Amino acid sequence: MIEKTHIIVLAAGQSKRYGETKLLETLNGRPLLQHALAAGQEACPGRVCLVTGHASEDIVNAAAGLANEIVLNGEYRSGIGSSIAKSVSHLGEGASAVIIMLADQPLVTAAHIGQIIEKWGNDPDAIIATRYSGVDGPPVLFGHRYFAELCELEGDAGARHVLQAHEDAVRTVEFAPAAIDIDTPDDLKALLSRR
């Protein structure tokens, strides 16, 4: 059921390659961060969890109320795995699935998230990944069966090894724009020049 699907937007990183807090940069008149949050709210209103760490206060302010829950990851320097673990643990039994999104993928749409949820079909054993540039990646939905494994993640590995460990359970939704993520100022310039 869609009401048991929660969005997790990962926004705890240090933006080392960017040189400053990239999620505060402006894209189409609003902070980069807000694009992912707004898509999440449109797809799953009232069930968007924002994970912060680096520059947490600034990130929360930039979210402008688009997050329903905030999880502060004090261990954000250890990598993305700890952010996933803390947020999934926080949501716990209240969710039958989580969709893990990156805050720096501004072209992800609510319609795409809706397609992921539709393909999931409330199957606790399913994993629905986004396919782009020949790879499977985020946004990715994990059914409840995988929560325990997600809660054990640490370091920079993220959820990729959970995907790989359960290849037979993974289904995909094609969405080429998810290949665009903002890691450097040049990435942002390139995206702005396309629009």
Specify the CATH number for the domain of residue 130.
Answer: 3.90.550.10
With CA atoms as reference, report the closest residue to 99 among 129, 69, 60: 129
- Whole-number pLDDT of residue 165: 93
How far apart CA 40 and CA 33 sit, in angstroms, is 11
Residue 172 has pLDDT above 80, yes or no: yes
Average pLDDT of every residue of the chain? 92
- Whole-number pLDDT of residue 185: 74
- Whole-number pLDDT of residue 152: 94
Q: What is the mean pLDDT of residues 2-19?
A: 83
Per the structure, the count of domains in the chain is 1
Q: How far is CA 182 from CA 32, 140, 176, in A?
A: 9, 18, 15
Query: SS3 string of the chain?
Result: CHHHEEEEEEECCCCCCCCCCHHHCEECCEEHHHHHHHHHHHHCCCCEEEEEECEHHHHHHHHCCCCCEEEECCCHHHCHHHHHHHHHHHHHHHCCEEEEEECCCCCCCHHHHHHHHHHHCCCCCCEEEEEECCEEEEEEEEEHHHHHHHCCCCCCCCCHHHHHHCHHHEEEEECHHHHCCCCCHHHHHHHHHHC
Q: How far is CA 191 from CA 59, 68, 105, in A?
A: 22, 28, 11
Q: What is the mean pLDDT of residues 62-80?
A: 94
Q: What is the mean pLDDT of residues 89-102?
A: 93
**Quick check: bond before 139 cis, omega within 30?**
yes
- Whole-number pLDDT of residue 124: 87
- Whole-number pLDDT of residue 15: 75
Residue 66 has pLDDT above 60, yes or no: yes
With CA atoms as reference, report the closest residue to 137 among 119, 155, 160, 157: 160
Each residue's pLDDT tens digit, 19-49: 678 999 999 999 999 999 999 999 999 999 9
Residue 143 has pLDDT above 60, yes or no: yes
Place of tokens 């992912």: 36
- Whole-number pLDDT of residue 177: 93
pLDDT-based confidence at 100, cuts 50/70/90?
very high
Locate 5 and state its tokens. 């699907």
Residue 104 has pLDDT above 90, yes or no: yes
Which of 42-46, 108-112, 135-139, 177-181 shows the lowest mean pLDDT across its residues? 177-181
Residue 1 has pLDDT above 60, yes or no: no
Domain that holds residue 13: 2-194
Going by DSSP bridges, is the β-strand pair 127-132/135-143 parallel, antiparallel, or unpaired? antiparallel
pLDDT-based confidence at 3, cuts 50/70/90?
low
- Phi and psi at residue 194, in whole multiples of 5°? -80, -20
- Whole-number pLDDT of residue 163: 93
